[in-house]
A and B are shown apart, each in its own frame.
Chain A
């Protein structure tokens, strides 16, 4: 089958069982997304942008069944005062969730926001559509068209506590599309936490519009569930002097593709995307980042670390695009992986595309085994080899966690990461 024919048949099969939800204010955006999707088609294995990750299980009509993962762990961020919004297999759980009213913030649910003119209309599908160039992200268009629920957050002032979306996975065959829209007004700030696997197969989109001088912080932990599959997209647009920080902790998961698409449109904006990943077994983890600098004197950082063992595959595709006129850009990108055995692999494509001359942009990528000298040193001090390996592995990953600004969040993530590392695959 030719690549074009394959794309068509994959797309047709996926769309066969779906109907566009009647969304009132979001109708137009959904129809646009649907036609976008039809012209782009869903990705197939021959797509250059999916060179290192096979999209078939993410695009096929039905999800591969995934047994929910049973664990005795205390939920992450339990020690932090936060507003909880719980979805079980993509369905909003009102009882488990907190009251959605909070000072300085308006929270609606996508499924319940039936007002004809909703503020989210200016963002829903808009940032996603912007992010389709120059590379198609058709899974996100699929989401815009068909997502049934999600959270719409409009931040107008200072929010006293973080919003935590908790995604529980209970059904073996759940196939979930969630679409969140977040709008942070000028000078306002918000922290969003996302925890849990959500479903057997999750397609998650978050669009974040950050106005001048606003700040958005994001921390996510995708859990250790072995059989889950996830394709997530985060689209962010940054105004002048604004801040965007996102960090993702992932462990295992048979298939995870996290895409982050950021556009710096106002001067002096600052974006950081980071991630730490522990792959222990037959897992595949893909971080794909695309940062566009379209304003003067902006800074962006990408810091990704992966520890891979027992046959895990890590992928990093990161790009810094500096448009003509985006002078004084400072772009930094580092992707590193530690391969703890001979069966694991790391595949990377760190890209720069630069059309302005007064910039400092750099990227680095390293792959290798654990440092023998450091290991020997620790052993010579009486630390057993296994412990020494874990210590060095943890210190390697911690560098990425350092990107989280909030101390309490950082400590939570660090502790959880250490425990996941220790538990290994189990």
Chain B
């Protein structure tokens, strides 16, 4: 492995990771006094969450409508994943650090244990300093961070500087209070309340998340980033992200997720909505590293996420890039509704499943506008006893004339106990569009491995190198900061999969 240390991740962390030899890097829990709502789900809990967030009446009604709807829905079972039935009454739907009970007036009032958490999370040191109230030196590259800890956002950095550019970046609970007209106009318009079982659940009980608004003709001056962490036991995390890119604007958004090692599986059901108006562009990158459970499949996160981008404006462009290495069960299909003429959607994905992990992930490209383009590059890697499924939809509506799609999904198998599956749906309803789909499944090439071994690499290093090569197309689509981390993560995720 190379010695590259990601900007902000200190050498100690890297050493620590090496020492544990592939065990889960984020498996610690911070001992912070928490305030919980009672276990279980009811209208009272929904009301309580709304009340705790000091929400207006319309928000509460929205939640209650979602809850009513959720009671009528049936949990979907079509994905190629197998897990014990979830008892939705055996979860905490609201947990927040006690120290947040009275919101800190400035970030340096933040519980030092939380700051410790950031450090462990690998949030760049500069932001940590900022969280502690220290000004960053001039001219340095900046990344604004919103950290969501269990159910609540605990701090957003660079807020003021972003506001100068007109960019709103805050937690969604703040946005509901401070920018109700924006939230009301867009929330639930991309992922409707009744969209699917988990999205509906999220609509009822989401407690926090991030909100971004980029005004017209604005290039967001820095990359925005959110770190999500589930810390408390038996807590479901239901975050909601809403990003609105107004006409001619651009933003790059990074998302990272971790959770402590727990024996009991934990639920994560997030909803991400992206709205793109004319000529807007959003680049959304995720490194998902939730706790995957142990080698025997004990514990881990159930990651049931609904992510969708609505390219409403003409010539708008969205790019989803995801590196999925964590979670015991992943159920996630970041999608693009290409409504505006000449709009574009891209999806780049690496999904690694090792040990007992199960991933069912992919994308939907719905072409509605004329001359819309989409591109899907999916790399699935299965090792151990894991099951990895690509599931996708490319749909060309009759009116989406002269549209174009290219899909490539490749699967790599490491070992003979794992599985790799591809389930694409292709629906073409006009003849001026072109749709191409290619998929391959193969094992790690023996010749390549032999070559690496003959150059003195051990088997694990060789596999990591070959796999990184296999994923190159996707890694290249990630912003610099994430690409490094993702590359290292690919190697770590596969440790123990050979030999």
Query: With A345-B428, A347-B426 given, is the CB distance from A352 to B421 under 8 Å?
Result: yes
Instruction: Kindly state the separation between the CA atoms of A363 and B429 in the bound complex, as whole angstroms.
Output: 21
Query: With A350-B439, A363-B439, A367-B434 given, is the CB distance from A358 to B419 under 8 Å?
Result: no
**Contacts between chains A and B (CB distance < 8 A), count:** 119
Instruction: Kindly state the separation between the CA atoms of A220 and B297 in the bound complex, as whole angstroms.
Output: 49
On whether the beta carbons of B426 and A357 are closer than 8 Å, the reply is no
On whether the beta carbons of B419 and A368 are closer than 8 Å, the reply is no
Task: Kindly state whether residue B162 has any CB partner on chain A within 8 Å.
Answer: no
B443 — which chain A residues lie within 8 A by C-beta? 357-359
On whether the beta carbons of A351 and B428 are closer than 8 Å, the reply is no
B78 — which chain A residues lie within 8 A by C-beta? 48
A360 — which chain B residues lie within 8 A by C-beta? 440-442
A340 — which chain B residues lie within 8 A by C-beta? 431
On whether the beta carbons of B417 and A324 are closer than 8 Å, the reply is yes
Q: Mark B428-461, 1 if CB is under 8 A from A, else 0.
A: 1111111111111111000000000000000000
Chain B residue nearest to A316 in the complex (CB): B426
Task: Kindly state whether residue A342 has any CB partner on chain B within 8 Å.
Answer: yes
On whether the beta carbons of A357 and B432 are closer than 8 Å, the reply is no
Q: Mark B386-428, 1 if CB is under 8 A from A, else 0.
A: 0000000000001001000000000101111111111111111
On whether the beta carbons of B418 and A357 are closer than 8 Å, the reply is yes
On whether the beta carbons of A362 and B439 are closer than 8 Å, the reply is yes
Question: How many interface residues does chain A have, given as a range?
Answer: 35 or more
On whether the beta carbons of A353 and B413 are closer than 8 Å, the reply is no
- Smallest distance from the beta carbon of A285 to chain B beta carbons, Å? 15
Task: Kindly state whether residue A369 has any CB partner on chain B within 8 Å.
Answer: yes
- Smallest distance from the beta carbon of B499 to chain A beta carbons, Å? 14
Instruction: Kindly state the separation between the CA atoms of A346 and B433 in the bound complex, as whole angstroms.
Output: 11
Task: Kindly state whether residue A365 has any CB partner on chain B within 8 Å.
Answer: yes
Task: Kindly state whether residue A251 has any CB partner on chain B within 8 Å.
Answer: no
Q: Mark A358-385, 1 if CB is under 8 A from B, else 0.
A: 1111111111110000000000000000
- Smallest distance from the beta carbon of A342 to chain B beta carbons, Å? 5
On whether the beta carbons of A345 and B424 are closer than 8 Å, the reply is no
Query: With A48-B78, A342-B432, A366-B436 given, is the CB distance from A349 to B426 under 8 Å?
Result: yes
Instruction: Kindly state the separation between the CA atoms of A328 and B430 in the bound complex, as whole angstroms.
Output: 39
Task: Kindly state whether residue A341 has any CB partner on chain B within 8 Å.
Answer: yes
- Smallest distance from the beta carbon of B368 to chain A beta carbons, Å? 15
B420 — which chain A residues lie within 8 A by C-beta? 352, 354
On whether the beta carbons of A342 and B423 are closer than 8 Å, the reply is no
Chain B residue nearest to A361 in the complex (CB): B441
Question: How many interface residues does chain B have, given as a range?
Answer: 35 or more
On whether the beta carbons of B414 and A369 are closer than 8 Å, the reply is no
Chain A residue nearest to B417 in the complex (CB): A324
Instruction: Kindly state the separation between the CA atoms of A329 and B16 in the bound complex, as whole angstroms.
Output: 42
Chain A residue nearest to B399 in the complex (CB): A342
Instruction: Kindly state the separation between the CA atoms of A133 and B427 in the bound complex, as whole angstroms.
Output: 26
B413 — which chain A residues lie within 8 A by C-beta? 354, 356-357, 359
Task: Kindly state whether residue A236 has any CB partner on chain B within 8 Å.
Answer: no
Q: Mark A317-329, 1 if CB is under 8 A from B, else 0.
A: 0000000110100
Task: Kindly state whether residue A127 has any CB partner on chain B within 8 Å.
Answer: no
User: Pick the contact of A367 from B415, B428, B438, B442 — CB < 8 Å?
Assistant: B428
Instruction: Kindly state the separation between the CA atoms of A362 and B424 in the bound complex, as whole angstroms.
Output: 13
Instruction: Kindly state the separation between the CA atoms of A347 and B425 in the bound complex, as whole angstroms.
Output: 8
Instruction: Kindly state the separation between the CA atoms of A122 and B158 in the bound complex, as whole angstroms.
Output: 75
A69 — which chain B residues lie within 8 A by C-beta? none
- Smallest distance from the beta carbon of B254 to chain A beta carbons, Å? 32
- Smallest distance from the beta carbon of B26 to chain A beta carbons, Å? 29
User: Pick the contact of B421 from A348, A353, A364 — CB < 8 Å?
Assistant: A353
* B residues whose Cβ falls under 8 Å from a Cβ of A: 78, 80, 398, 401, 411, 413-443
A-B pairs with lowest CB-CB distance, top 8: A339-B431, A357-B413, A368-B434, A348-B426, A352-B422, A367-B428, A365-B437, A361-B441
Knowing that A342-B430, A350-B437, A351-B423 touch, tell me 19 more A-B residue pairs with CB under 8 angstroms: A342-B398, A342-B431, A344-B431, A346-B427, A349-B425, A350-B422, A350-B439, A351-B421, A352-B420, A352-B421, A352-B422, A357-B413, A357-B443, A363-B437, A365-B435, A367-B433, A367-B435, A368-B434, A369-B432
